[in-house]
Amino acid sequence: MSQPPATLAPPRSRRLQILLRVLAAILGGYVFAWGTVALATSLLFAARLDFHDAEFLGAFIGLIAYVLVFLWSIATQRVLRVGLVLLGLGLPMAAAASFVQSLLT
């Protein structure tokens, strides 16, 4: 599915495109970042880091990840893929974090 040049796209569909893309970048990006923070925190804690150290590093990694996927979401061609990739990775990462937690407690 190749996109027509932006200037030729009819304004309404372009506006919808932009709205979807911005929503995908913000919300999808947040789910992805949450998954990253949770998984990184739980794994670092499992690796015997102090909880607050793990939490801090997890947040650090998650924030950098959020910025990068945010940029990618705006720049990449297909908006559907953005949503699928971000949720498809973010949710399993969050689930994995809960699993790691269940092993430790």
Partner 1 sequence: MFNSFRQAMAWLHTWFGLVLGFVLMAAFFFGALSVFDREIDRWAIPATRIEAQPMPSFEHVLRPAFERMQPLQADIDAMRARVNGPMPTHFDQVASWSAYTTHRDPVLALYAGYKVPNAKDPEELIWAYATIDPRDGSVLPDDRLKIGSGFFFPLHYGLTLDWKNLGIWIVGFSALVMLAALISGVVMHRKLFREFFTFRPGKARLRSVLDLHNLTGVVALPFHFFFALTGLLIFAGTYYFPVGHTQLHDLHDLHERMEAQETGLPHQRAGVPAELASVDAMVAQARHRWEANAKAGDVGFLVVQHVGDSNGYVSVYRAGTDRIALVGDGIHFKGSSGALIREDPAATPVARMSEFLTGLHLQHFRHWLLRWLYVLGGLTGAVCIATGFIFFVEKRKRQHALQGSQGARIVDALAVTTVTGMVLATLGILIANRLLPEALPGRGDWERYAFWAVWAVALVHAGLRGAPVARGLANPAWREQAWAIAVLAVAAVLLNWITTGDHLLRTLARGYWPVAGVDLFLLASALVAALAARRIGARARVQHRKTSRAEPAHV
Q: Using CB under 8 A, pick the residue from 66, 83, 86, 90 that binds partner 1.
A: 66
**CA 87 to CA 14: how far, in whole Å?**
23
Q: Using CB under 8 A, pick the residue from 28, 58, 83, 90 that binds partner 1.
A: 58
Could you tell me where the DSSP H helices lie in the chain?
11-23, 29-46, 51-75, 79-104
Q: CB within 8 A of 22, min separation 6: which ones?
A: 74
Residue 18 or 84: which CB sits closer to partner 1?
A: 18
On whether the CB atoms of residues 26 and 82 are closer than 8 A, the answer is no
Contacting residues toward partner 1, per CB under 8 A: 3, 5-6, 14, 17-18, 21, 26, 33-34, 37-38, 41-42, 45, 49-53, 55-60, 62-63, 66-67, 70-71, 74-75, 77, 79, 94, 97-98, 101, 104-105
